[in-house]
Structure 1
């Protein structure tokens, strides 16, 4: 038992590794601040595009969603970071991670938005149009707010997944929290920095998970 505590919960090593891990946390938050808003906007565009009148546009978007949902985010990240340089496009590790997670989350957010839009009755659309609102005004002022409210727990759940996916950035040597913790582990030959990163993830995401449960309960009643 003492050996396990020394290997995984060594407080002295955690204290020494804390500055490096917290520096990585800053990068993790930067990635989240870039990916989450882009994903939310991209997902909404995908959801609205899936309701287009053109069968070709709907088919292309359906293919886009299916491919990105089926493709592991890690494969997408490696394809972007290792493949684009052969096409003469060189992106920074931060840009590679942001682009890969943006594409992945746009597909998932898009499906969530689509379900929300489908959950709003057609009568709401007709009522909005009867008040004199244009089609775009009815969509953005009446339909979308109701759709977002109906799928808010799912949006929050996907956002939690985005935060966890940022750990994949370590593959392209972006110094986010997991990468920094792993660097500290390799220097100390101890797994306590990894546990410190895990505890920080838990402290960040556990309140959000509890909020998600409350939202699900409130919307279900």
Structure 2
């Protein structure tokens, strides 16, 4: 059984306010990189995830099975391993990516697998009778998708897609492992220089927190916007 003598804990070193305040500007320099990787990675995931969802739902095996294999692989392997493959592994094949580009590609293609499943279930939730009605009106597949199906599916997909983005925003901290100068990487630099890991990692967490709060607020606004379709 773990036994801890509270009297032996130096609470003054738990969070050194002066050090945190002095380090804050340097830590904040990592915010643009965090947002860059998260936003562009999410954009890639949304585009790729949409077409993966269509392929996953296709009646053609040539489209359905490769999509299922891709989704299964990406959901079943750690994203950190994938980042290492892109950044440290590809140079063996003569392909060298910058740390930021490797992170964007890694998070974008990985999140696409989760987004694809969200899109697939959202599209499937729209009544099949609406497809039949659209065909009766002479609308093409893409006209039906754009004008009838997607507006309804988006309303259903917004909450889970927002959660994917929030998870992606926090997961960008893994990019520190391939030297992307984002928030956690900046905190690691200062922690190594000051030998005060506790203060700097708590400070990094406090920087992530308001970022997620801002996007959570935007999520609520989007949900209210699309609730008018209920």
Work out whether the TM-score is over 0.5: yes
Bigger Cα displacement from structure 2, 8-17 vs 76-85: 8-17
Q: 2:208 aligns with which of 201, 207, 210?
A: 201
Unmatched 5+ stretches in structure 2: 1-5
Structure of higher CA gyration radius? 2
- If the length of structure 2 is used for normalisation, what is the TM-score? 0.87
CA RMSD of aligned residues (A): 2.2
| Paired residues of 2:43 and 2:108 also in contact (CA < 8 A) | no
Give the alignment of 1:1-221 within 5 angstroms: 3-4=10-11, 6-190=12-196, 191-209=198-216, 215=223
Length, aligned pairs only: 218
Post-superposition offset of 1:68: 0.5
Residues 127 and 11 (structure 1 numbering): CA distance in 2 closer, same or farther, change over 3 Å?
same
Bigger Cα displacement from structure 2, 181-190 vs 110-119: 181-190
| Paired residues of 2:118 and 2:160 also in contact (CA < 8 A) | yes
Residues 99-157 of structure 1: CA deviation (Å, up to 9, x unaligned): 11111101000010001011111012122233332111101221122112112111111
- If the length of structure 1 is used for normalisation, what is the TM-score? 0.90
Residues 170-190 of structure 1: CA deviation (Å, up to 9, x unaligned): 111111000001111111222
Unmatched 5+ stretches in structure 1: none
| Paired residues of 1:8 and 1:195 also in contact (CA < 8 A) | no
The structure with higher relative contact order (CA 8 Å, sep 6+) is 1
Post-superposition offset of 1:11: 1.6
Residues 34-91 of structure 1: CA deviation (Å, up to 9, x unaligned): 1111111111111111123321210111011001100110111111111100100000
Post-superposition offset of 1:33: 2.2
Post-superposition offset of 1:201: 1.0
